[in-house]
Amino acid sequence: MEILLHNAELLSIHGRRAGLRVRCGAGHLWVTQQGDARDHLLGEGDSFTSRLSGEIVVTALAASRVSLLPGGRFVAEHSNRTPDRPTG
């Protein structure tokens, strides 16, 4: 599944997420997951593979193309709500 996100749009991924790979095809993404204390910043060609089952939130830090690659059953919802920006 490929999704285009505008700057500051959110993608919330629910369901069985362990093993799901989030790939940045273009742009810049901020990926967080419930239960994971780290934030993951992805640029073009980078990916994040979930090892946990918590909800995943992907935020576009610029217009971005996101690919969700199989690893479980999931439902993805996106929003144009502006998130808090990561620091550092």
Question: Chain-centre distance of CA 56, in angstroms?
Answer: 6
Q: Can you give the residue ranges of every domain in the chain?
A: 2-78
Phi then psi for 83, rounded to 5 degrees? -85, 170
The confidence score (pLDDT) of residue 18 equals 85
What per-residue string of b and e applies to 30-56 under the rule 16 or more CB within 10 Å gives b?
A: bbbbeeeeeebebeeeeebebeebeeb
What per-residue string of b and e applies to 74-87 under the rule 16 or more CB within 10 Å gives b?
A: bebebeeeeeeeee
Contact 84, 27 (CB under 8 A): no
Residues 22-73 have pLDDT tens digits of 999 999 999 999 999 999 999 999 999 998 988 999 999 999 999 998 865 5
- Quick one: which H or E segment has residue 24? strand 21-26
pTM, to two decimals: 0.79
One CATH from 3.40.50.300, 3.40.50.880, 2.60.120.10, 3.40.50.11610 for 2-78: 2.60.120.10
